Amino acid sequence: MSFIDNRRNADDPAAFKAAFGRFATGVSVVTCAPEGVEPIGVTINSLSSVSLDPALAMFCLDDRAVALAQFLRAGHFALNILAEEQADVSNRYAGDHVIPESDPTETWESGAPIFRNALSVADCILLDTYGGGDHVILLGRVVQVGYREDAGPLIYYGGSYGKLAP
């Protein structure tokens, strides 16, 4: 069957999700630590580097997400790109957003929690927000980055986790 045989209107949410579910993405947990409340993390796959000069990155959150107010209040975030062995971390922050003290985190320049075992991290200061349909785009200036060379990425495709072939 060709894609032409399976064409649907983009206003059909199931078809839209199915079409974009064919795009393999990395999995990340975006974190922040607003003053006076517990640090949080949210599993996302909608993120991107934006610019090299200045170093900018962005991610998207549902505009109804309770966590959105905390990211705006914090004024910073860290994009923790997960390694292939971190599906449990992805699952945890897809539900409960509070980061327990038992999770191996530290803070860098922005103050956002950094997962020590992440594949890579972009530590960001929130610059601006933009409307994007039913989501909000949060743009940040990247102040520090870090990465591992001893692991591969956690991949999400068609509703399941995977990893790169050796």
Nearest Cα to Cα of residue 97 among 38, 20, 45: 38
pTM: 0.92
The residues facing 81 across adjacent strands are 28, 120
Give the number of other Cβ atoms within 10 Å of residue 40's Cβ: 23
pLDDT average, residue stretch 5-17: 81
**pLDDT score of 7:** 79
Reported as a single tens digit per residue, the pLDDT across 57-102 is: 999 999 999 999 999 999 999 999 999 999 999 999 998 899 988 8
Q: Which residue has the tokens 């949210």?
A: 42
Reported as a single tens digit per residue, the pLDDT across 102-160 is: 888 899 999 999 999 999 999 999 999 999 999 999 999 999 999 999 999 999 998 89
Q: Which of 13-17, 46-50, 84-88, 143-147 has the lowest mean pLDDT?
A: 13-17
Looking only at the bridges linking them, the beta strands covering 47-51 and 56-62 are: antiparallel
Rounded to whole angstroms, the Cα distance separating 142 from 2 reads 41
Domains of the chain by residue range: 25-157
Rounded to whole angstroms, the Cα distance separating 36 from 22 reads 40
Among the four given CATH numbers 2.60.120.380, 2.40.40.20, 2.30.110.10, 2.30.30.180, the one describing domain 25-157: 2.30.110.10
